[in-house]
Amino acid sequence: MISNSLTSFNRNITASVKGGLFCFLALAIFSCGKSGNSVLPVKDTAAVVTTKPVVFPKATYNPAALDTTRLFDPIPVTNNLARKDLLEISGIAASRVNPGVLYIHDDSGNPNQVYLTDASGADKGTLTLTSVGNRDWEDIAVGPGPVAGKSYVYVADIGDNDSKYSSIFIYRFPEPDLTGKSLPFVTDIASIDIIELKYPDGAHNAETLMVDPLTRDIFIASKQSNLSFVYTAAYPQSTTSVTVMKPVVQLYFNKATSGDISPDGSEILLRSNELIWYWKLPAETNISAGLLLQPQVAPYANNEPQGEGICFAADGSGYFTDTEIKDHPGHLATISFYKRR
């Protein structure tokens, strides 16, 4: 009697184990059959985080078949910089407060300073940003900011050749007024807004900063071979927490080094060391939508050994470019101006 009971008990246990194993395998097969699902290890109690892919609208025009704009003189007026110590210039921006003044700067490994010049290349001063460093400043822009009626300088600490930094930084401060000041004007800038940004899809190298004068939104364009991903941080940008940027457009543009938006918000420039693209936006078209439209090629005289910066003149009379010369012995740092016809 006892033997029969044990045999029955063993049979029941075996059936239960087989049944449980069958259910487990069926569940695993069913789960694996669904896209994106998997069976978690028994000891894994961590929450499953689902990351949505970052989708960029793509430009549909042929970048090799663009027309050339005739709005600007193809032969620039070029002048050498008076200062001979600026070898790695990376950006240029036109003052809205001080007529004719241009802001330039060097990139990584150089002082945390913004230099003042003009179309002639004169030395008009130095601004030292005492509360921030120069990890890799790659571009500069001028535009509106948090206080209505004030104009601000934006410095882009966005260079990342190895795509290793978890955050990039924009440094913002009000433009100094040079009225009545003796030149060259030298001062320290201590009060600086620090805007920390992240890409939604991992680290990127970038050298292009643009500020929309109408919305105060910030735009960053990555620097890659034959591609540039444009991101935006909408106004108001936080100065106390990290802002994750949003995708704007994927452009088939090779190694972007700088860009700018015109003071009235109707034109865009994007440059590399080889060429310049120019957009004239239709009325009521915002920057994000405008970048999806087909641009034109703007004049570039190929007169810079390592063309880095570009900006519109504050009065809309044309645009400026500048160049790095560190790795190009025998060349001088220059500023070129392409006049609007």
- pLDDT single digits (tens) 249-308: 999 999 999 999 999 999 999 999 999 999 999 999 999 999 999 999 999 999 999 999
Has residue 81 got a pLDDT over 70? yes
Do 93 and 145 share a domain, yes or no?
yes
- 46 lies in some domain: no
pLDDT band (50, 70, 90) for residue 51: low
Do 151 and 254 share a domain, yes or no?
yes
The predicted-structure confidence for 91-122, as pLDDT tens digits, reads as follows 999 999 999 999 999 999 999 999 999 999 99
- 108 lies in some domain: yes
Structure tokens at 130: 């005492």
- 86 lies in some domain: yes
Do 34 and 82 share a domain, yes or no?
no
Is residue 298 within 8 Å of 258, Cβ to Cβ?
Answer: no
Do 273 and 221 share a domain, yes or no?
yes
Has residue 50 got a pLDDT over 50? no
- 56 lies in some domain: no
Structural domain of 17: 1-41
Has residue 21 got a pLDDT over 80? no
Kindly report the backbone phi and psi dihedral angles of residue 151, in degrees, each rounded to the nearest multiple of 5, phi listed first.
-105, 140
- Which residues have a Cβ under 8 Å from the Cβ of 20 and sit 6 or more positions away? none
Query: Domain tally for the chain?
Result: 2
Give Cα 258 distance to the centre of its chain.
9
Kindly report the backbone phi and psi dihedral angles of residue 231, in degrees, each rounded to the nearest multiple of 5, phi listed first.
-125, 160
Structure tokens at 224: 């890659």
Do 199 and 254 share a domain, yes or no?
yes
CATH label of the domain that carries residue 330? 2.120.10
Structure tokens at 54: 């970052």
- 62 lies in some domain: no
Is residue 263 within 8 Å of 291, Cβ to Cβ?
Answer: no
Has residue 242 got a pLDDT over 60? yes
Strands 193-198 and 243-244, sheet pairing: parallel
Do 16 and 150 share a domain, yes or no?
no
- 63 lies in some domain: no
- 255 lies in some domain: yes
Do 37 and 115 share a domain, yes or no?
no
Q: Which amino acid is at 262?
A: S
CA separation for the pair 339, 316 (Å, rounded): 9
Q: Collapsing DSSP states into helix, strand and coil, what is residue 196? A: strand
Other Cβ atoms closer than 10 A to 49: 5
Do 300 and 228 share a domain, yes or no?
yes
Q: Which amino acid is at 217?
A: D
Residue 28 has a pLDDT of 37
Instruction: Report the share of the chain in percent with pLDDT over 90.
Output: 84
CA separation for the pair 67, 235 (Å, rounded): 33
